[in-house]
Structure 1
Amino acid sequence: MPRLSTSLICLTLLMASPALAQDYAWQGFAAADAMNTLHHNLLNRTNEAAQERRDRAAGRRPAARPAAPPPSLPANQLTFRRDPAVTRGVHADLVKRVSGKDANAGRVLSQELVRRDPLTVATPIFRRFGLDTGNVVDATAIYFMGMWGAANNVQNQMSPDQARGARAHVARAVNFAGMGLNTPAARQRYAEGLLYQVILMDMAVEQAQQQKNAAHQRVLADAAHRQMTQAGLDMRKVDLTAAGFVPL
């Protein structure tokens, strides 16, 4: 995920608590349908790669196995214009989830979201990578990029090629037509739920890396890894390349 150049220190401190990180207080935002379809795509590709290796070992020409793409949607059914009322609802849900684990952290988060919205800060940064936070495909790609980076404790900034690869992979693998994102408000709630989750995680990982706090880096990486594996996607078994998420 593109590292945030503007640090929001109070927000990153929310993830300094091992209890919050281990329980991943905002995991309810996870887009299970998107994760399941991407996981299915990666599993199929892993099986196909294994079959290709067997075919080559036996001297057979690997068979072409084109994947059936999910139904496509017109661009105007994938985007939304940000509605402050919807954002306030997403904020309230996030604060409630965090407060359930740590009341003080919830109060700090509530204050910081009012003072300085991390998604507003991050949006122009993502835009430089060709990713639009007002698009559900791009938001999903940002989420998967960030969780891959967190689960693997990646320290380098994501490249534009990786961003394009993640975006293209999500676009061809995820069935957005079947996710009930039929209104701008539904699309916004879905996208912003993912974006806030991964922005906060990314900032916490970045801070732990800057402080060279290896123990906290492990806690955060394991939290991200557990969140994704519980949804059926092991980010430690894939690499992120210009071709998308590629099984190792």
Structure 2
Amino acid sequence: MKIVIIGGSGLIGSRLAARLREAGHEVVAASPSMGVNTLTGEGLDEALAGARVVVDVANSPSFEDQAALDFFATAGRNLLAAEVKAGVAHHIALSVVGTARLLDSGYFRAKQLQEDLIEASPVPYTIVQATQFFEFVGAIAASGVQDGVARLSDALIQPMAADDVATALAEVVTELPARGRIEIAGPEALPLDALVRRFFAATGDARKVVTDPGARYFGVQLDDRSLTPGSNPRLGAIRFDEWLARRAAA
């Protein structure tokens, strides 16, 4: 089966491509560096010719409100139109758990628009909403740093490893379109401030973490539902401490 991965050279895309090739699929890892550009439409028709499944794991290069909105609007419309033309049978998109609860952030409003475009398209689809990745904990911590101190909410977060994200997406590729959303998450939930304390301790970061229930997450006021999945997510296997140990060993 031919599968096209949009954003196929990135953190998730490269891992997903490896898994799908090992399973015997024909995989096109599409990205601007490979001559496939969803913003301009360059190379899309050629890449999608004969494809049965398209997996979109591309992300906006900018988290600025308008830039992210422009990216997901333009890329989404171009990609879905090309899929209709190519007769793609299943569109799979990677999104974020809690997107509809995080709309005070321009980035998440852009992700919501992406999801809305997918739902309005005639292409059968599955939207895979994932929790935040372990690989992004450093950036999340940095977003809360003021005067050398990380001020972070104690709201629950249930992050997961990029390897588990790729494994979950590879499973969805083999399934029928859900025509809706499924959630994937890590195996444990813990407070955001505690997560960052563990990360700092493991990486030798001496900065202090201050618990601030009012601290915003990329502009959003958090509660325990903001960043955690519902009652029936698919759970990854890799725990945060295990990921930290692997990171240290590498």
Normalising by structure 1, report the TM-score: 0.26
Q: Where is the helix percentage greater, Structure 1 or Structure 2?
A: 1
Q: Which has the higher contact order (CA 8 A, sep 6+)?
A: 1
- What TM-score do you get using the length of structure 2 for normalisation? 0.26
Q: Which has the higher strand share?
A: 2
